[in-house]
Amino acid sequence: MNGRRSAATAATLTCALAVLAVPGTAHADPKPPRSEQRLQEVRSEIDGLYRKAALATDSFNLAEERADKQSSEIVKLAREIVKGQNKIDQLKKRAGAEARAQYRGGGLPAEARLMLSGDPQLFLDGAGRFREGQQATKGLLGELSRTQADLKIYTQDATDQWKKLESHRKKKEAAKKEVKKQLAAAKKLESTLEKEERARLLAMEQEAEQKAQTAWLDSGALKTVGGKATASGKTAVAYATAQIGKPYVWGAEGPGSFDCSGLTSQAWLAAGRGIPRTSQEQWKRLPRVATKDMLPGDLIIYFGDASHVGMYIGDGAIVHAPRPGRDVTIAGAGSMPILGVVRPGN
């Protein structure tokens, strides 16, 4: 019995040693943490991917906005086409009624019927009515011709708008794929980070933002800033700050989540002013003001490509939706490279 136990024990030890000897089965040593330089490189790479995603998000939002506008135009044109066709049908019925009336009159021209009446006064009265009838017929035919021409224009416009709609839909889908591609790449890179590295990365991010904000303040950028918000500006700020804590979701414009321009456009909509949907269009189409003259409610556009926007709320701060994985929050107005300032309303 003891011999059998010894043999079994030896066999078990042999198997255990064999398993440990197989490559990959032993516990690997923990991965050495990245150096500060390498972590900075990773942070830069992640930031770059999120910036590309932000640009693609702007393209998506713009294509969606234009597609919605095109759809509305097509609906309006479709209504005009239906109205025009109904009008043409009514005019044709009137023209048909007049033709049938002439047929029932024996097919003789009205002048001949009047001359055969033998009554000069009746002839004169009838001649006047005939001229009126002629003018009415011409008017009827002219109206029919104009309505048909309008209908042709409406139909062509609807065709053109449909082509534009299809183009915007394709751009929207392409932008959607690009957003997902860049976000997937960023998340994949972030997934390689250990918990401690994530904490270091966040600290680096906050340190860089604080450094940029301090440099901006030290430049004297706020020396002349101090004007009071307008009534609409106060409403916009109140709306935007009420969203603090809600998550960033690309393409979202509330109520549960926002992207950067979704937040600013909805805030100003709440203040009674519709503005462009994307940060790039906000930069292109809204009146620009000097940084020294900005007021709470004004929008600060960031980066050379206008890929981000935040709302100035006073005291050197903005409220904004930063990026995926972050919530709507307050940040230093100078924590990112400022392209310029725009003012949606007075």
Partner residues linked to 311 by β-bridges: 299, 319
Contact (Cβ atoms closer than 8 angstroms) between residue 176 and residue 15: no
Partner residues linked to 340 by β-bridges: 301
Would the CA dihedral through 172, 173, 177, 180 be positive or negative? positive
Query: What's at 35, amino acid-wise?
Result: S
The DSSP symbol for 256 reads: S
In the numeric block, which tokens belong to residue 287? 């009146």
Query: What's at 337, amino acid-wise?
Result: P
The DSSP symbol for 126 reads: H
Q: How far is CA 1 from the centre of its chain?
A: 81
Q: How far is CA 85 from the centre of its chain?
A: 35
Query: What's at 344, amino acid-wise?
Result: P
Contacts of 143 (CB under 8 A, 6+ apart): 91
Instruction: List active site positions.
Output: 260, 308, 320
Partner residues linked to 331 by β-bridges: 318
Contact (Cβ atoms closer than 8 angstroms) between residue 304 and residue 280: no
DSSP per-residue string spanning 33-74: PPPHHHHHHHHHHHHHHHHHHHHHHHHHHHHHHHHHHHHHHH
From 332, 339, 335, select the one nearest 291 (Cα to Cα).
Answer: 339
Partner residues linked to 320 by β-bridges: 329
CA distances from 85 to 154, 155, 165, 236 (A): 11, 11, 24, 46
3-state secondary structure of 299: strand
